[in-house]
Amino acid sequence: MPELITTPDGLRILVEELPHTYSVSVGCFVAAGARHEPDPQGGAAHFIEHMLFKGTERYPSARHISHAVEGVGGLLNASTAYESTVYYAKVATLHVDRALDVLSEMIRRPLFDLQELEKERRVIIEEIRGLQDTPGDWVHELLQQAMWAGSPLGRDIAGNVETVSALGREDLASFWQRHYHRANLVVSVAGKISLAEAHDAVRAAFDGLPAGAPTPPQPRPVPRPGPRLTLLGRDTEQGNFCLGLPGLPYSDPDRRPLQVLDSILGGGMSSRLFQLLREEHGLAYSIGSYHNDLSDAGMWVIYGSVEPEALRDAVALCMEILRDLARDGVTPDELAMVKEQVKGGLLLSLEDTWSVASRNGTHLLRYGHVAPVEQVIAEVEAVTAADVQRVARRLLRNEALHLAVIGPYDREDHEELQTLIATGLTHP
């Protein structure tokens, strides 16, 4: 288990000693993301993530920052989500002080240089446009926008061309000042380092970071009702679709049954989706499912890419599988196999120092503590077939269903698909 130390000035430091490894991973978890932006400033959190790599007081350029970590064989990266932003480095143990120095400089002293800002603005706009050139990825964003329209969750994390074009240095600096402080920060360390060494090094690196106040809770998002079809006609070689439903928050008591249910539905080659659509009918190369969870909402998604003329059959089969899950539940063999799959995947993921540091930091931000791996395994093991069916019936509702499609389709296809999903999930 990791050790949690909260310094007198409020900085939370998590340390998990892994003496069998040769590396140390450090993650800076900031409790602010795309959900905390005003609508006109959509994309600010993601823009800031980019800018923190473009220069600090002591590392004045992107080259200086990357060379400091990659020059000693390390890895440096970041990601922005709706409720958090994470910056992390993984280095050999003897370079941990350097990794901490770079990360703390990025968090505490970014330059937001105007010339670099304009260059990065162009890069982000190309990133947004690149997504629209990749329909298999874009269809996920289309579903997100349709289901959560009118909420920050309905915006792309990167923003759009209009909002990114309008963001100025003051907008970014203001967001950074409001959210990048001790009350919003967790520093998670895992690897070949002692608790005392890590504690002293982190405290020294982040000395002087403002105290701040935690980001307040956001208004709870309300998904748009369904059944609803969002179809974007494009001259593509495949029909790309996402079938989505509102899911569960990450603290919901049914989160483990949903985890098991999602694995049975679309978790790998033994899942129902893969076996029926790919192996039995040969309709899709790419088919699967996932669940995204937030503090007060979630989204459960089936996705696939098929030959254009196979779209209707593929969607119909997906809904048939969902109806079967709600009506008949899961078999004992399925339940036993998926439990082992979930448990094994969790254990295998913890063989890497960054995976451990990431899990610990994410848990502390979400739950205020780090759940022991043994507890998670016990929770998965306790899931029953009745639990899985109850969650399926709870979530699989026609009035919540959304279908997003990108492909070479017209008004007639739109009407046919709308009719298909209108009563597709009805179950007794």
Query: What positions carry a catalytic annotation?
Result: 49
CB 133 within 8 A of CB 9: no
Give the residues across from 25 on adjacent strands.
Answer: 90, 190
Q: What single string gives the DSSP state of each residue in 15-79?
A: EEE-TT-SEEEEEEEES--GGGS-GGGTTHHHHHHHHTTS-BSSS-SHHHHHHHHHTTT-EEEEE
Helix 96-108 / helix 62-70 crossing angle, nearest 10 deg: 160
End-to-end CA separation in angstroms for the chain: 45
Helix (H) or strand (E) holding 306: strand 298-306
Instruction: Give the C-alpha separation, 305 to 287, whole Å.
Output: 7
Instruction: Give the C-alpha separation, 413 to 396, whole Å.
Output: 24
Q: What single string gives the DSSP state of each residue in 84-153?
A: -EEEEEEEEGGGHHHHHHHHHHHHH-B---HHHHHHHHHHHHHHHHHHHT-HHHHHHHHHHHHHTTTSGG
Return left, alpha or beta for 202; rule: phi > 0 is left, psi -120 to 50 is alpha, else beta.
Answer: alpha
Q: What single string gives the DSSP state of each residue in 272-289?
A: HHIIIIIIIT--EEEEEE
One-letter amino acid at 331 equals: T
Helix 255-266 / helix 332-349 crossing angle, nearest 10 deg: 100
Burial (CB count within 10 angstroms: exposed 0-12, middle 13-18, buried 19+), residue 411: exposed
For 221-254, give the secondary structure using H, E and C. CCCCCCCEEEEEECCCCCEEEEEEEECCCCCCCC
Quick one: which of 253, 216, 254, 220 has its CA closest to 391?
Answer: 254
The token duo for 23 is 């590396």
